[in-house]
Amino acid sequence: MNKVEVFDPAMCCSTGVCGPSVDPALARFSADLHWLATQKIVVERYNLAQQPQAFAACETVMSALRLQGNECLPLILLNGVVISKGCYPVREELARLAGVDAEVTA
């Protein structure tokens, strides 16, 4: 089973979808990750402020941070390989990167 891991920059909560001014891109991405999980993809998400140990435990993430600093975040891995960095892809791109059909609904 494929596994997508999202390494987010430091945010106030686990998804960044809280507070009085929610970034619509974060809300959309959170919904897209939920959708991706319904497509039989394991999804794990880590926030630098709340789960720094997950960042430290992944050499791929640490290497990207050493080379590019926080500019590489969000960093998205598929089965341990970087598939996206520095932005939140839209559902169609996320589906393509994960190898699933974006037209499928749960």
> According to the model, what pLDDT value does residue 18 have?
61
Specify the pTM: 0.88
Q: What is the pLDDT along the chain (106 residues), one digit of tens a residue?
A: 899 999 999 876 655 556 556 678 888 999 999 999 999 999 999 999 999 999 999 999 999 999 999 999 999 999 999 999 999 999 999 999 999 988 866 5
Output 87-90 pairs: Cβ under 8 A, ≥24 positions apart. Answer: 88/25, 88/26, 88/28, 88/29, 89/29, 90/28, 90/32
Task: Kindly list the domain boundaries of the chain, sorted by start residue.
Answer: 3-15+22-98
**Whole-angstrom distance, CA of residue 47 vs CA of residue 38:** 22
Give the architecture (CATH level 2) of 3-15+22-98: 3-Layer(aba) Sandwich (3.40)
Nearest to 100 by CA among 59, 44, 42: 42
